[in-house]
Structure formats: C-alpha cells, structure tokens
Amino acid sequence: MNRANDIKTPINVGKEVKIRGWVHRLRKQKEKTFILIRDDRGGVIQCVFPTQKIVPLTIESSIEVTGMLAKDDRAPEGGYEIRGSSLIVINIADVDFPIGEYQSAELLLDYRHLTVRTRRMIEIAKIRATILKFAREFFIEDDWMEVTPPIIVKGAVEGGSTLFKLRYFDEEAFLSQSAQLYLEALIFSLGPVWSLTPSFRAEKSRTVRHLAEFSHLEAEAPGVCLNEILSVEERLISYIIHNTVRERSDSLNFLKSDVPSITHINVPFDRITYHHAIDTLQSRDFKILDARGKKRTIDVGDDLNIDSERELTKSARKPLFVTDYPIQIKPFYVKEDVHRKGVGLSADLLAPKGFGEIASGGMREDDILSIKKRMKIEGLDPLHYEWYLDLRRFGSVPHGGFGLGIERLLRWLANIEDIKDTVLFPRTMSRIIP
C-alpha cells in the first residue's frame, strides 16, 4: 500500500491513487468534507469528498480511500489532495479520542499509547531510529564486534542506591545498571566490543534528564589509552549527528533543533580539566546547594551537577570533555593515573548549551587491591565480583571504554526539554503505565 509521501508527486497528478490510514483531522463544510489521512509512518495527505456522499466519521477511524490525485496549493503538507471516489471504513473510532491540540504534559503521558500517533512523537521516533542505525553502522565500519550482555545481574556497577532488586528464583538479583563489567570480560577474546542494552537506574529525584530505564550504548577495547577512547567517542558522536542531520533534517527542523550549529560541529571536541572547570565556576561565583540545602561556592571535591554543567557549556559550540576528576568521586573501576596520585583517567562528555552529560568513559583500574579497597568504600561486596577480579588475574591488559546515553544524545540533538519525550514509553519513579 502506498504512503502519503510516495503519492504526493507530480507524476501521480490526474491518476487514481489509493491510501490506507487514520483520520487525523476532519473538517466538514456544507458542500465538501476534508479528511487529513495519516499513513502508518506519520505521512499525511488531504482527501476531499462531497459532504452528502460521505459516511459519518470520527477522529482516528481507520479507512481506505481511493480517488484522483490533484494539485491544489491550498491543501496542507505539500499542496496535493485526493479527490475521493470511494471510502472504505475499516474501523470507526469512539468519538472521544483523548488527544487533541492543547493537552497537559501529564495527560499526554497517561495516554502515551495514543500520543505516539502525534506528529511530535512520530518525528522523535524517526530521529531515534536514525541515531541507532548510524551508531551500529559506525561500529561495523570501525571493526567493533556487537555483543549482547546479560540484563539480570548480581552486582552493582554504578552504586547501590539506584539498583532495582528482583527475585531471581530463590535469590536476590538486580537489573543491570551498565554492561561494562561484562564487556571488560569479552575484550580478551573478542577484541573491541560494543553493546546496546537497556540499563536500569532507580533514580529517585525527578529531573529532565534521568529515566529509570534507558538505552545504553557501551564500548570497550583492549590496548587503548585514554586519548584513544575519547577519540572513538567523538568520532562516533560526530558520525551519528552528521548523518542524522543529513537524513532527518525535516524531523529536526520540526522539533526546532538548532540544525545549523550542529552541522558545524567537528572533531576534536573541546577539553577542560576538572580543576579548570572548578576554577571557572568559582570565578563566576557559582553556588551549589550543600547537604542541608544551603548555598555555598563550589569547591574541589564536589561533583559537577546539572547546574554546574549548564554553566560550563551555556555558550559552548561543541561537546566538552571534562577530564582529570578526583578519583574519589568516580566509581571503583576508574583507573588512577600512576603519575598523578588521586587523578582518575576518565572523562565525562557534556553536550553544548546546557544539555549536560551525554557520555562517560575512561581507563579501567587494573590493580586488584585498589579495586577491592574502593569497592568496600562504595559498600559493594567483593564476593560478588570475584569473576570480575579474575579478569585482572589472568592476562590483564590496559583497557578502557565508554557509555553513551542514547536518550541524552537525542535530547540534545533534537532539542527536547524533558527526557521522557525521547522514549516512546518512559519509565520513571512515578510512571510505569502504559
């Protein structure tokens, strides 16, 4: 069956065309009835019928229309319309389709199973699919092997407070927060590997950039140094954004994304050290909230939160790597620089214009004693990680990798305020239906 965009071409004018779809908009006049029909990829075309010949229709009824294609500049979305000769009703929708033009964000989320039919959600879904396509294409062309690590796991990666517990037969298990430890196990026999899996974090604070379930793209490679890891990250992201801009410029423009400035992004991305970031924030008298909710100037040892990330990138033109974090504010697996005690060999990547962290990567610690010590500090039971420590016992090599949040990338690229809109069925602390 044809879609609206295939039908709307000059060579079809004057010919009989047929389309199946849903009644997207309906306008009844005395003489004529105008139906905007939406196909199964969100394309729309206007169909016109004489009002006295048409059966009663409702919004979202599924129909099949046959008629002659005509050019009419008044017709929306391209100036073509179908002068209908036959209309078959497949299903008449109930009259009270709940999604209209002005609805609260909460209602749109309550009805997400129907909101996915709106133009905005359709365009977002297309951009998302294109991002995933080019991510995969990048790794294939760059000779990385795709792997599928487990989702049900026994150990935390990113700290116990955001773990989702589940009953696994007769024992306790968790939903994976990150595939990293498993990717680390695979580099010894498969070389550079990557995966795209859902990661789960029981994020208890409501923010516009945290989901309880997100699409996590992770990569890990043996025999690399930090600069090589960062170079893969920037080449990957650059490849994805430029190809997505090329293929989805209509969708991006519809969402009011800043396409021209994204088009100008090139590698290498910018870099600053953590200390430089703190100096910059202090020089602007940037304040953070302490544990008791009191404002104080940011200081060395504080992690960068969304507000500090926004301050650092508000006028940035390209993504910014923050390097050289103090090791104590990074997870147990981050490698300490042997030449600079206390400095972690890792980097977070911040998107421009305050969109915040989109990726995080670095070298992995290979000293077993140090890993065990830091696991204890983080409250993790080293017994659950014996298998991971084996990776350091048997032929360990310097290695590193990174994790990229697909929704964070999409949020920045498509200029989406709330990360909940980057997924079709968002999972947050207050939402698991639909």
Residues in contact with ligand ATP by CB under 6 A are 158, 201, 203, 210-211, 214, 216, 357-360, 403-405, 407-408
Q: Which CB sits closer to ligand ATP, 273 or 428? A: 428
Tell whether the torsion through CA atoms of 371, 372, 376 and 381 is positive or negative.
positive
Q: Which CB sits closer to ligand ATP, 80 or 269? A: 269
Of 37, 410, 396, the closest CA to residue 255 belongs to: 410
- Cβ atoms 382, 389 nearer than 8 A: yes
Nearest distance from residue 231's CB to ligand ATP, in Å? 17
Nearest distance from residue 260's CB to ligand ATP, in Å? 25
- Cβ atoms 215, 194 nearer than 8 A: no
- Which H/E stretch holds residue 252? helix 249-254
Q: Which CB sits closer to ligand ATP, 63 or 157? A: 157
Nearest distance from residue 430's CB to ligand ATP, in Å? 14
Q: Which CB sits closer to ligand ATP, 262 or 358? A: 358
Q: What amino acid is encoded at 358 in this protein?
A: I
| Long-range Cβ contact pairs of 418-424 (< 8 A, separation 24 or more) | 418/105, 418/208, 419/207, 419/208, 419/209, 419/210, 419/211, 420/109, 420/211, 421/120, 421/121, 421/124, 422/124, 422/128, 423/211, 423/213, 423/214, 423/215, 424/112, 424/116, 424/121, 424/125
Nearest distance from residue 180's CB to ligand ATP, in Å? 9
- Count CB neighbours of 271 within 10 A: 17
Taking CB atoms, the residue at the shortest distance from ligand ATP is 405
Q: Which CB sits closer to ligand ATP, 205 or 315? A: 205
Nearest distance from residue 131's CB to ligand ATP, in Å? 13
Q: Round the CA-based radius of gyration of the chain to a whole number and report it.
A: 26
Q: Which CB sits closer to ligand ATP, 129 or 329? A: 329
Q: Which CB sits closer to ligand ATP, 36 or 153? A: 153
Nearest distance from residue 176's CB to ligand ATP, in Å? 12
- Backbone angles phi and psi of 257, in degrees to 5: -75, 150
Nearest distance from residue 72's CB to ligand ATP, in Å? 45
Q: What amino acid is encoded at 412 in this protein?
A: W
